[in-house]
Structure 1
Amino acid sequence: MNVLYYLREFPKLSETFILNEIYALKQRGHNVAVFAIGGGHKSITHDEFDTLDVPLGYADVPDPAGAAKSFVSTLTAHSCFEILSTDVPLKTNVGNVLWAGQCIEFLDDLDWDLDCIHSHFATPYPLPCSYLSTYYGVPFTITTHAHDIFKEPVGDYTEKLLSSADRVVTISEYNREYMRDRFTFETPIDVVHAGVRSDKFDTTAPAEDRRVLTVARLHPKKGITTALEAIAIVAQEVPNVEYHIVGSGPQYDELANRVSSLGIEENVTFLNDVSDAELVAEFEAARCFLLPCVITESGERDGIPVSLMEAMSMRTPVVSTTTSGIPELVDHEENGLLTAPRDPDATAESVLRLLQNDAEWREFSHRAREKILDEFSVQTQVDGLLTTFEAARRRSPTDQPTRAIGKSAHPE
């Protein structure tokens, strides 16, 4: 299979699941190329990115005068008016047209023929994919996640984008049911759980008895305010509990102030963003992984957080909530513990169970790893994606001439 990934940013620290699936596809012998509008977080070390051997193309953003000229020439040369959307900012419309033209130039330099175009997140940025799909006579598929479908108001472009795809992928049954209720598009929806590299996230090292860990973007939907309030309660019974928070984000100042107001400065450590090796070390040391996700006032929520999967793969039992698709991963009282959102007392009680009950901890630890191996590894993710790609190829219109990719594909 020869696949183009058309992405907003690559690599992005909070989107390691995209890097994982590209890496796994390449490891299986498939050809993958990536065209990204932005370069993402290249300063953070990712083992997969460092060894990723795929063609990478990044969009060029010209100055305003050059952008206007390029916009007119690209729009004229390719007649790609379908990319434009009335509810998208002018700057984004102009960029989408430019990036479509640049992507065609990138693809024409490849030495293999394209089979499928795939993107992630139903934002305005993948709007060129439908045009590129028609241009090359190949199917277009897209994976939806969380903020792109949950955060209100959802733009009209979302319906347009998902209607234009040959198949839509989403990461949970919860998401699929939500989209069927929220939107009217008739594109088939496949559920493909995001997965993690179970070989990378694995350990038999003993955990620190009093260590609790969160790995997350510092955003209200992660429920870290509830986590801090729960740790303050836990500290009354386990005064030397250690709570490590890995990640960065817009809520840092608010959370740091909350730590001070709760008087738990000696218990809480903010570690910011870390390397892969440091992340694995944090998981190894954790007795309990804590992520009490919530739905915000604007409707934002997680899908199924990848950090929960990484923790479970590392045999670290988790405490989370019944929000969105999380119960599809965490089986309450089987491989972890779930509470209602925004309930620090119940969250604290669950954390104390995992810190103090060794027999229960061992059972949860074993079953957590089993759940990942059975349903949430990157290999099962790629199996599902390949099934979607093949189904999209069967569904894609056959009356269009396929345009071969290569320097001779479009003669003068």
Structure 2
Amino acid sequence: MRLSEDRGKPRIAVIVKGYPRLSETFIAQEILGLEQAGFTLEIWSLRHPTDSAKHPLNHQIQAAVNYLPEYLYQAPLRVAKGLFAAMRRPGFGRFCALAWRDLRRDPTPNRMRRIGQALVLARELNPQIAQLYVHFLHTPASVARYAAILRGNRFGFSAHAKDIWTTQDWEKREKIADAAWGVTCTRQGYDELRRLTPPDAPDRIRLVYHGLDLSRFPEPPVRATSTDGNQPKSPVRIVTVGRMVAKKGFSDLLQALAMLPEHLAWQMVHIGSGELKQSLQQEAEALGLSDRVEWRGAMAQSGVIAALRDADIFALACREGDGGDRDGLPNVLMEAATQELALLSTAYAGVPELINDGENGLLVSPADPAAFALALERLIRNPALRRSLGQNAHARVRNDFEFQSGITTISALLQMQGVRP
């Protein structure tokens, strides 16, 4: 093969659970950043997209997107071809031993799917792929790990939130041991993964905040300074953004809103969708909030930014979710800060790594709607406080959460494994 042709071949496979996803702008931002740094990528997704819209970021990404069979029965020929190809690979013996051990510990259809997807991935990956890089340490990392063992590749991972806190210790420990390197996006997550890292490899895990590409965000708008909840025709505008799942605390937020003084003038917009959509909307109606809460559903980032610019307060009541699930550091908090919004959230998960209470936002204890209501009322009544907190939040993101440093770190880790841009 001529050198010019060789340069055009993919060299890194990025494995994700679903692509594209409106809730995962941080992944799209990173993929685009790695492409701009000179890396050639191809994307492999365990699931097809479920969102009807796409972020502008996704349209800028050049990487080819490939989909593994979501359910093995839907693509039996691909799975069979993967199995026959795997039987001829030097890593097949270790793969079989590992897959059997994992199945005994986790005898679920989900585990079988990941093994089958790995067989397909190992066969269909371009031979020029030098390394696998996977987002999320739970099911996507299982597929990447099995495929890497079959192919004799190394893999690196980026761990985030649910994948850290809902995966069993034995699985996290073994994946970290097999990985070339791993990064995670909060200090809390970093400490958890370091606890399980081999003693002879203390630097295998790195703390890398997602940060934001600030060039994608407009300068903050000029907001009215007199809106204080006393003018019914000029209500204070609250916005919240996130998937409708338990860890986002939207039920706590609705209860807090219901505790506000009845005469206080406010309106709230929610952006996002998810499994709790119907129950949350029913709860809002039962609490008498239907005429004050607008449900906009999932939106592309341009729509999110427009809503942030039109608001006075950003509120997100993070808490522990189902099965110990929790957030990392929600990117939308940083996005709200780019527009100088006053931030109100909880002292939970990675949120305090961005917000210093009383300095660039307000924090209350998680799962405490009464405390959230008091802090929300304080912000509604005090436009000067909102302005001060918003300006400080904007400065904090600009000074400490610019995404290029994370791209530099991940680029260096990829190059340590011999992958050059």
Report the alpha carbon displacement of residue 131 of structure 1 after superposing the two structures with TM. 4.8
1:129-177 CA-to-partner distances (Å, cap 9, x unmatched) read 23544566653211111111212x6274333222211112111111122
2:81 pairs with 1:77: no
Identity %: 23
Secondary structure of the equivalent of 2:17?
A: strand
Match of 2:288 in 1: 263
Matches within 5 A, 1:7-406: 7-41=16-50, 43-60=52-69, 63=73, 66=77, 69-70=80-81, 72-78=83-89, 79=92, 80-81=95-96, 84=99, 85-86=102-103, 87-89=105-107, 91-108=109-126, 113-133=128-148, 138-151=153-166, 154=168, 156-181=170-195, 183=196, 185-186=198-199, 188-207=204-223, 209=227, 210-238=236-264, 240-296=265-321, 298-391=323-416, 393=417
Return the alpha-carbon distance in structure 2 between the equivalents of residues 69 and 114 of structure 1. Answer: 22
Which segment is superposed worse, 165-174 or 365-374? 365-374
Amino acid at match of 1:39: H
Structure 2 unmatched runs, 5+: 1-9, 228-235
Runs of 4+ in 1 over 6 A off after TM superposition: none
Secondary structure of the equivalent of 1:194?
A: coil
Contact 1:119 1:126 (8 Å CA) reproduced: yes
Amino acid at match of 2:346: T
Contact 1:231 1:243 (8 Å CA) reproduced: no
Which segment is superposed worse, 2-11 or 299-308? 2-11
Which segment is superposed worse, 55-64 or 330-339? 55-64
Return the alpha-carbon distance in structure 2 between the equivalents of residues 50 and 82 of structure 1. Answer: 41
Residues 344 and 63 (structure 1), Cα distance of their counterparts in 2 relative to 1, 3 Å cut: closer
Residues 66 and 2 (structure 1), Cα distance of their counterparts in 2 relative to 1, 3 Å cut: closer
RMSD: 2.8
Larger RCO: 1 or 2 (CA < 8 Å, sep 6+): 1
Residues 218 and 184 (structure 1), Cα distance of their counterparts in 2 relative to 1, 3 Å cut: same
Amino acid at match of 2:207: V
Contact 1:213 1:282 (8 Å CA) reproduced: yes
Secondary structure of the equivalent of 1:214?
A: strand
Residues 273 and 156 (structure 1), Cα distance of their counterparts in 2 relative to 1, 3 Å cut: same
Contact 2:22 2:300 (8 Å CA) reproduced: no
1:11-68 CA-to-partner distances (Å, cap 9, x unmatched) read 1222221111001111232222211222224521210111211122222466375466
How many residues align? The count is 389
Match of 2:4 in 1: none
Report the alpha carbon displacement of residue 180 of structure 1 after superposing the two structures with TM. 3.7
Residues 32 and 244 (structure 1), Cα distance of their counterparts in 2 relative to 1, 3 Å cut: same
What's the TM-score, normalizing by structure 2?
0.83
Return the alpha-carbon distance in structure 2 between the equivalents of residues 388 and 313 of structure 1. Answer: 29
Amino acid at match of 2:384: A
Secondary structure of the equivalent of 1:346?
A: helix
Secondary structure of the equivalent of 1:13?
A: coil
Residues 135 and 192 (structure 1), Cα distance of their counterparts in 2 relative to 1, 3 Å cut: same
Return the alpha-carbon distance in structure 1 between the equivalents of residues 350 and 285 of structure 2. Answer: 33
Return the alpha-carbon distance in structure 2 between the equivalents of residues 75 and 114 of structure 1. Answer: 17
1:42-98 CA-to-partner distances (Å, cap 9, x unmatched) read 521210111211122222466375466345414313324256222345644554444
Structure 1 unmatched runs, 5+: 395-401, 403-412
